[in-house]
Structure 1
Amino acid sequence: MVASVDTVAYLGLEARGVECQVQLSAGLPAFVIVGLPDKAVAESRERVRSALSAIGLSLPPKRVTVNLSPADLPKEGSHFDLPIALGLLAAMGVIDAEMLSHYVVVGELGLDGRVTASPGVLLAAMHAVGEDKGLICPSAQGPEAAWAGDVEVLAAPDLLALMAHFKGDSLITPPEPGAPEELGGGPDLKQVKGQETPKRALEIAAAGAHNLLMSGPPGSGKSMLAASLPSILPPLSPSEALEVSMIASVAGTLEGGKLKRRRPFRDPHHSASMPALVGGGLKVKPGEISLAHLGVLFLDELPEFQRGVLDSLRQPLETGTVSVARANAHLTFPARVQLIAAMNPCRCGHLGDPALACARAPRCAADYQAKISGPLLDRIDLHVEVAAVSAADLTLPPPAEGSAEVAQRVAAARNMQARRYEGQGARTNAEASPELIEAAAKPDEAGAKLLADAASAMRLSARAYHRVLRVARTIGDLAGAEQVGRIQIAEALSYRHQAPRN
């Protein structure tokens, strides 16, 4: 007797169909799983055996062979438990195999027969929609699966409930989509005293999704400014929310079936490895840059990251994707992030302050800043100095303008960009191709002359030239200007990186 159950294997953000074939044949009792299973899949034997025993069933005294087809596709994860168990029940005649053929099945089993959560259910649900089938998944992830759209979802708490449903004794109620994630949270710009120039740069960065580097002494407010950025960013659009939620589903961080609405904010420690930041590992998983897709990747103490780790960000920052190539896998993850970085000007952090700077200044600053490669700095649109906060600044009353007021201007600028690039493959000025930005940010005569002179004097690369145009276009959007002028070009040039003076 052979029974088949449809399930999936996850390859990056793709759910690829897998057929779980279960055969009961004469021979010495055995339980064998074939089809390139990893350790977690191989251990399904014991979980399935115990789960069946918990509901009063035992394996027949026959040879049980489970084949996960296609056999040359690596199978990873515990979500194969439930399809193996249902396939075995169908082969034993406990469940109608024809009824199972209309579903894609994912879920991990507990030893007591409970169906517990496993990563990637949202991807499995979208795969089921494409195959015009229903989905059987853990009850805790039913609200997550319901976001996939027009799909029949059986969110089962345990094996007994599934058996009762298929026999018609007690039907499982279809789940409702989980409530969207609530907005808000995080520091408000009103908490930042002084620092008007960095706050202006932060607003520009938010409006155009530009990369930003803040440099200043310890305690000047760099980390607080970065933490305030989510409070002025617009919420995710429905299509963006689905993209971000799919990544969170694969990573197993989508809680309670709540679709993401807040833009991600990831702040890895500077000891992070290259696979942790860009993705990879023995079992290839999305890294921090993918988990921050359509949001913010904040790197504090930038020069303290390993040089190779930082340089691995150069290609993803340019293309918006990261390709992880390994001997057993070649996967591509989305990585359209806004890089916000903070650093001290030198190792002691007090360059320029005669009372606190070390004896090696300014040489220590050149050595410290040389840890960051020029090509990476060239990909950062806005470079701003964050001055030390004085005691007098701390006694000032909170500023009149906070995150709510700035967020309105940012939202208006983002809406202008969405209309400008509609149907052209870009959402913000930072994503616009050189051809698009040259058309959208063509400066007037005075602005064009200033840009040409500055490009020659500052020896701007072609990338830097277009990034200046992108920032100038964003500044114009914040001001409601139709055309980029000399004022916008001048402000954009003021944020370009300057090589340290010896």
Structure 2
Amino acid sequence: MALARTFAVALHGVRGHVVEVEADISAGLPAFVLIGLPDTALGESRKRVGAAAVNAGCPLTQKKLTINLSPAALPKQGSGFDLAIAIAALSAAGTVPPDSAAGAVHLGELGLDGRLRPVSGILPAVLAARDAGFARVFVPAGNAEEASLVEGIDVLGVTGLRAAAIAHGAELDPVEEEPVLPPQPEVREAAEPDMADVAGNDEAIAALLAAAAGGHHLSMVGPPGSGKTMLARRLPTILPDLAGPEAVEATCIRSLTGAGVGKDLVRRPPFEAPHHTASAAALVGGGTGRIAPGAIVRATHGVLFLDEAAEFPPSVLDALRQPLENGSITIHRASGAASFPARFQLVLASNPCPCGHYGSADEECTCSPMSRRRYFARMSGPLLDRVDIRLTVRRLGVAAVRSADHQRSDRTSELLRARVETARAVAAERLRGTEWSRNADVSGSWLRAGERRLGSRAIAPLDRALERGAITMRGYDRTLRLAWTLADLDQAPSPDVDHVGRALFLRRGIAS
């Protein structure tokens, strides 16, 4: 057999594309030619595959071997094609039955000793193979646990090239090999933060509850030590567990980053808190070679917390504007383009001025009015217009600290999460049959039409704010969404004038 084929998967973002790996053996001087738009890491597979095949006891042909990765116009990246290239070459040489090789997808990087090394992105790759109609996929033994999360496809975890060839029916003597396992991250047992740890700040906690129930973005402004970071880090604890497509998507993103997945899908909402020196590429994603996901992608279905938001470069902050609207990010580079989900809750925290003491009762601010305006101008108007809830958080007094112990049992994260789940269930029932499940995602035109349209009395405060120019049309719709969330938390059939007024108050900022 001079021509054989098998299949692999090329990842672009979280989407996988099945690639046909063709091997042709022809007369001529010994050569190993790889074509089909490979990157540098994939181009080096010729050396890896050749050495691995020899050390595994199934050497490649001594004739001219040509490997074609089809479709040729699709860029291919990474070392995960090694196993497919080796199996295709062995199939063309007659070592592996061609029918068996052509009916499976092969993923994994080969070491020089012939063993298979784990690779990142196994979960989205196996999902792509299953969706393309394949019933069998070969993966490194170190990735078998992750790949088995995909139902409807037979996953074979193999330790090396020789084991894969034998599984296909090659007449080779089996050899015991130690599987190459992925590095295990250091696990530190730490107690999960709880909202009951927060002293006072009743209005702030009520605002966080609304943000969690509706998926709304949040901004907090206050002096150092007022509890902004403490509040933000406890927002994920009151968010419901991920389920269904959300859990699969969050797990695929974790797989892409190489962080390790384990035996189950990601269930808890992720939390990302990049430093204020992060670049735009670190925040939204990018890279000169392979396009890597950024912090907004890793925070999908969770929380992206930007502490000291006014210290971020304006260009970095403005890169968030499009993902906040679309819920996704497409990154274009000379090597190609990659699309990632980016549906996260944004939490901004900043000081009121460079020195941090503006508005404080116990500290004197040393900043000029111009420096304060320049400081906040880093967060552009269009960005803040996409934030539904704006809080002014103040330092606690002695009375609030002493009374905190009496309030802890009334607002634990577990109790607040139950309220959030109930409110989201009400919203999901109302939005059944639409493409949305959270109030923050609903189209404004849908809320302003038909039976969802609020009465003139309920909407009067919002209409007056729009007429005065106090809010934009985007702000009008976002306030409506927040009003529906407040009504869901109160188990009301629809927002009344009180809910609309509270939503408008939250959007324009409150003092806690």
| TM-score, normalisation: structure 1 | 0.92
CA-atom RMSD in angstroms: 2.3
The answer to which of 351-360 and 471-480 deviates more is: 351-360
**C-alpha separation in 2, matches of 1:322 and 1:167:** 44
| Corresponding residue SS for 2:356 | coil
In the alignment, does 2:340 pair up with 1:329?
Answer: no
| Corresponding residue SS for 1:240 | helix
The answer to which of 257-266 and 372-381 deviates more is: 257-266
Q: 1:438 to 1:305 in 2, by over 3 A?
A: same
- 2:331 alignment partner AA: V
Residue 117 of structure 1: how far off its partner (Å): 1.3
**C-alpha separation in 2, matches of 1:484 and 1:294:** 26
Name the residue aligned to 2:180. Answer: none
Name the residue aligned to 1:422. Answer: 432
| Corresponding residue SS for 1:148 | coil
**C-alpha separation in 1, matches of 2:223 and 2:367:** 16
Name the residue aligned to 2:42. Answer: 41
Name the residue aligned to 1:436. Answer: 446
- 2:194 alignment partner AA: D
Residue 129 of structure 1: how far off its partner (Å): 1.7
| Corresponding residue SS for 2:508 | coil
Q: 1:489 to 1:388 in 2, by over 3 A?
A: same
In the alignment, does 2:283 pair up with 1:273?
Answer: no
The answer to which of 377-386 and 9-18 deviates more is: 9-18
After superposition, the C-alpha distances for 1:332-384 in whole angstroms (9 at most, x for unaligned) are 32211111111111111111236533333444322211111001010000000
**C-alpha separation in 2, matches of 1:228 and 1:405:** 13
Is the 8 Å Cα contact of residues 145 and 257 (structure 1) preserved in structure 2?
Answer: no
| Corresponding residue SS for 1:317 | helix
Name the residue aligned to 2:348. Answer: 341
Residue 148 of structure 1: how far off its partner (Å): 2.3
**C-alpha separation in 2, matches of 1:284 and 1:185:** 35
Name the residue aligned to 1:400. Answer: 409
Name the residue aligned to 2:381. Answer: 374
- 2:139 alignment partner AA: C
Find the partner of 2:499 among 473, 483, 488: 488
Name the residue aligned to 2:94. Answer: 93
Residue 450 of structure 1: how far off its partner (Å): 2.1
In the alignment, does 2:202 pair up with 1:199?
Answer: no
Q: 1:463 to 1:189 in 2, by over 3 A?
A: same
| Corresponding residue SS for 1:294 | coil
Name the residue aligned to 2:19. Answer: 18
Find the partner of 1:465 among 472, 476, 481: 476
- 2:444 alignment partner AA: P
Is the 8 Å Cα contact of residues 58 and 162 (structure 2) preserved in structure 1?
Answer: no
Find the partner of 1:157 among 156, 159, 164: 159
Is the 8 Å Cα contact of residues 141 and 155 (structure 1) preserved in structure 2?
Answer: yes
| Corresponding residue SS for 1:243 | helix
Find the partner of 1:477 among 480, 483, 488: 488
Name the residue aligned to 2:77. Answer: 76
Residue 63 of structure 1: how far off its partner (Å): 2.3
After superposition, the C-alpha distances for 1:214-266 in whole angstroms (9 at most, x for unaligned) are 11111211111111111100011212111222222233334224311111211
**C-alpha separation in 2, matches of 1:316 and 1:132:** 32
**C-alpha separation in 2, matches of 1:363 and 1:355:** 22
| Corresponding residue SS for 2:20 | strand
Is the 8 Å Cα contact of residues 141 and 256 (structure 1) preserved in structure 2?
Answer: no
In the alignment, does 2:193 pair up with 1:187?
Answer: yes
Q: 1:185 to 1:488 in 2, by over 3 A?
A: farther
| Corresponding residue SS for 2:448 | helix
**C-alpha separation in 2, matches of 1:33 and 1:50:** 16
Name the residue aligned to 1:410. Answer: 420
Name the residue aligned to 1:228. Answer: 234
Is the 8 Å Cα contact of residues 441 and 473 (structure 1) preserved in structure 2?
Answer: no
Name the residue aligned to 1:214. Answer: 220
In the alignment, does 2:65 pair up with 1:55?
Answer: no
Name the residue aligned to 2:182. Answer: none
Residue 112 of structure 1: how far off its partner (Å): 1.9
**C-alpha separation in 1, matches of 2:195 and 2:107:** 44
Aligned length: 488
**C-alpha separation in 2, matches of 1:302 and 1:437:** 31
Is the 8 Å Cα contact of residues 218 and 344 (structure 1) preserved in structure 2?
Answer: yes
Name the residue aligned to 1:142. Answer: 144
Is the 8 Å Cα contact of residues 186 and 227 (structure 1) preserved in structure 2?
Answer: no
Residue 475 of structure 1: how far off its partner (Å): 0.5
Residue 23 of structure 1: how far off its partner (Å): 2.3
**C-alpha separation in 1, matches of 2:48 and 2:277:** 37
In the alignment, does 2:326 pair up with 1:315?
Answer: no
Residue 304 of structure 1: how far off its partner (Å): 1.1
Matching of residues 90-129 of structure 1 within 5 Å:
90-129=91-130
The answer to which of 11-20 and 358-367 deviates more is: 358-367
After superposition, the C-alpha distances for 1:11-33 in whole angstroms (9 at most, x for unaligned) are 22221121112223332222221
**C-alpha separation in 1, matches of 2:426 and 2:26:** 66
| Corresponding residue SS for 2:409 | coil
Structure 1 gap ranges (5+): 173-183
Find the partner of 2:244 among 238, 241, 246: 238
Is the 8 Å Cα contact of residues 348 and 357 (structure 1) preserved in structure 2?
Answer: no
The answer to which of 290-299 and 369-378 deviates more is: 290-299
| Corresponding residue SS for 2:219 | strand
**C-alpha separation in 1, matches of 2:196 and 2:362:** 31
Residue 211 of structure 1: how far off its partner (Å): 0.2
Which stretches of structure 1, 4 residues or longer, exceed 6 Å deviation after superposition? 168-172
Structure 2 gap ranges (5+): 177-189
After superposition, the C-alpha distances for 1:383-420 in whole angstroms (9 at most, x for unaligned) are 00111134554444432221111111100001111111
| Corresponding residue SS for 2:125 | helix
Matching of residues 164-183 of structure 1 within 5 Å:
164-167=166-169
Residue 191 of structure 1: how far off its partner (Å): 0.8
| Corresponding residue SS for 1:495 | helix
After superposition, the C-alpha distances for 1:155-195 in whole angstroms (9 at most, x for unaligned) are 112223223322388799xxxxxxxxxxx963100111111
Is the 8 Å Cα contact of residues 245 and 254 (structure 1) preserved in structure 2?
Answer: no
**C-alpha separation in 2, matches of 1:485 and 1:143:** 51
- 1:94 alignment partner AA: T
| TM-score, normalisation: structure 2 | 0.90
**C-alpha separation in 2, matches of 1:370 and 1:448:** 31
After superposition, the C-alpha distances for 1:429-452 in whole angstroms (9 at most, x for unaligned) are 000001222357643443222222
